[in-house]
Amino acid sequence: MEILKGACIIGQSGGPTSVINASAQGAIEAALKAGCITKVYGAAHGIRGVLDEVLYDMGAEDPAEIARMKNTPSSALGSCRYKLKDPDADDTDYKRILEVFKKYDVRYFFYNGGNDSMDTCNKISKFMLKNGYACRVMGIPKTIDNDLFGTDHCPGYGSAARYIATTSMEIYQDARVYDTGMITVLEIMGRHAGWLTAASAIATHFGAGPDLIYLPEVPFDLDKFYADVEKIYRKNGKCIVAVSEGIADKDGKLMVEKFAEGADVARDSFGHAQLGGIGITLANMLKAKFGCKTRGIEFSLMQRCAAHCASGNDIAESYAAGKAAVDFAVSGITDKMVGFKCDRSNGYKCEIELLDLALVANTEKKIPAEWINAEGNGLTDAYVDYALPLIQGDPQMPYENGLPRFARLKKINICK
C-alpha cells in the first residue's frame, strides 16, 4: 500500500435525503482518524464550494455535533445542482478544481450524491489521473430514487421507503373512516423510476395500502386507469391510488404536462397559474368522473427529509458507505463508487463492494418488469422481499423538548 499524505474534501450534492449526513459523518469521522489525512474539509454546496473556495474545517467541529449528523436530514454542508461541462469541450472548472486541490494539498476527494454527482465525481477523477495529480477520488452514493446502477440499493432509499409505507398505512386508516364514498390519490416522487412509489406496496402487502399503484415504468392509459379505479370503488366504496409524479403516456410524455396542455386557461383571477401536481389533478378528474369525494395528497419534501421516520438499517448502511469510501481510499483505492451487494437468501446480509465510477455515472436503474404485476397497476411479492429489509430498524432519533435534536455545525470557512 502506497501511503498518500494530504488533506481531504468531502462534498454533498443533489437532492437531500434523510441519511446523506450519516454518510458524510461516516466519511468525516474516518478521515479525522486517518493518520495520512492531514486536514478534513467540508465543501460548501458541493463542488461549488471547491470552485468558490468555501471550505469548512471539520476538525474544528464539536465531535458531539458531528455524531448528531446521523439523524439530521438534508445536506448539512449544503448541496448544489451544478453540472460540470465535458472537460474536452471546456476544462475551466477542472483546472480551477486542480488549482484549489494544489493550494490546500488536497489528496482525497469524496463526493456524496446521486447520478449527476457520480458523473461529476467520475469526471474529476479522470481529469486528475490524466493530469498526473496524485489524488484518490471516491463516490458515495445517495438517492431516494434508488436508481443508481450496479448497487443493490442506494443509501437514502430505505428511509424514504419507510416513510412512504408508514404514511400510506396511516392514510389508509384515515381515508376509510366515513360511511361515504372516497377516492384518495397519493402522489409520490420519481420522475423516471418507480422505486419510491413502489414502496407504498409494502403497506398493501400488510393489508393497509393503496389498491392501485402506477409507476413510470408502465405507460399510463387514462381509460385503463378509470376502469381500474371504478372496479375497486364500485366494490368497496373506497379506493386508494398511488401514482408516481413521473407517470407518462406510451410516447413518454409526462401525464402532468399532457393534462396541463392547452390549459393556458389554468390561471386564477390574478392571472397566476394555480396548477396542482398529478395527484391533485387526477383526484379532481376522478371527482368529475365518479361524483364522489376525492383527495389528492402529495408526499412532497417529507418523503426525503422525514428523518424521525428513517430506517435504522439505512442509517447504518449510509454511515458504513461513507466510512468505507475513506478507508478504501486510504488503503490505495481510487476512481470507485462504494456500492452494496446484498444476500436475502437466509436473512439479510449487506456487504460493501466497489464499482467503477465510469460505470455508474449516468446509468439509470428501473424496476425490473417481472416485479410489476400483469395488470401494470401493482407490485409483486418479489419487490416486497427486496424492499422489506431496507426499511427495518428504529432511527434512534435524539429528542430535545419533544422535537428532533439536529446537528448544529459551526461551519468555519478556512479559505481567504
Touching a second copy, residues 285-314 (CB under 8 A): 285, 288, 295, 297-298, 300-302, 304-309, 311
**What contacts 253, CB < 8 A, 6 or more positions away?**
none
- Which of 182, 202, 248, 329 is the binder for a second copy (CB under 8 A)? 202
Longest Cα separation, the chain: 72
Q: Is 347 in the site for a second copy (CB under 8 A)?
A: no
Binding mask 21-60 for a second copy (x = CB under 8 A): -----------------------xx--x------------
3-state secondary structure of 210: coil
Size of the site for a second copy (CB under 8 A): 78
Give min distance, CB of 347 to a second copy, in A. Answer: 14
105 belongs to the catalytic site? no
* 86 vs 394, beta carbon nearer a second copy: 394
Q: How far apart are the first and last CA of the chain?
A: 35
Exposure string over 162-175, b if 16+ CB within 10 A, otherwise e:
bbbbbbbbebbeeb
Map the footprint of a second copy across residues 95-154, applying CB under 8 A. Answer: none
3-state secondary structure of 186: strand
Give min distance, CB of 68 to a second copy, in A. Answer: 12
Range in contact with a second copy (rule: CB under 8 A) among 96-104, 107-115, 351-359, 389-397: 389-397
Map the footprint of a second copy across residues 75-104, applying CB under 8 A. Answer: 75, 78-81
Q: Which residue has the cell 387514462?
A: 222
* 149 vs 259, beta carbon nearer a second copy: 259
- Which of 1, 3, 64, 177 is the binder for a second copy (CB under 8 A)? 177
Q: Angle 408-410-412 (CA atoms, 0-180°, nearest 5)?
A: 155
Using the 8-state DSSP alphabet, how is residue 264 labeled? T
Which amino acid makes up residue 10?
Answer: I
* 28 vs 77, beta carbon nearer a second copy: 77
Give min distance, CB of 43 to a second copy, in A. Answer: 11
Binding mask 392-411 for a second copy (x = CB under 8 A): xxx----x-xxxx-x-----
Q: Angle 410-411-416 (CA atoms, 0-180°, nearest 5)?
A: 130
Map the footprint of a second copy across residues 208-237, applying CB under 8 A. Answer: 208
Long-range contacts at 34-37 (CB < 8 A, ≥ 24 apart): 34/326, 34/327, 34/330, 36/3, 36/4, 36/5, 36/6, 36/330, 37/5, 37/6, 37/7, 37/8, 37/108, 37/326, 37/330
Range in contact with a second copy (rule: CB under 8 A) among 56-64, 123-131, 132-140, 282-290: 282-290
Binding mask 250-279 for a second copy (x = CB under 8 A): --------xxxxxx-xxxxxxxxxxxxx--
Written as nine digits, the cell of 359 is 460505470
Map the footprint of a second copy across residues 154-173, applying CB under 8 A. Answer: 162, 165-167, 169-171, 173
187 near 163, Cβ under 8 Å?
no
* 164 vs 361, beta carbon nearer a second copy: 164
Active-site residue identified among 145, 147, 211, 327:
145
269 by Cβ neighbours in 10 Å (0-12 / 13-18 / 19+) ranks as: exposed
* 117 vs 334, beta carbon nearer a second copy: 117
Distance from C-alpha of 84 to C-alpha of 194, rounded to nearest angstrom:
27
Catalytic residue positions?
Answer: 145
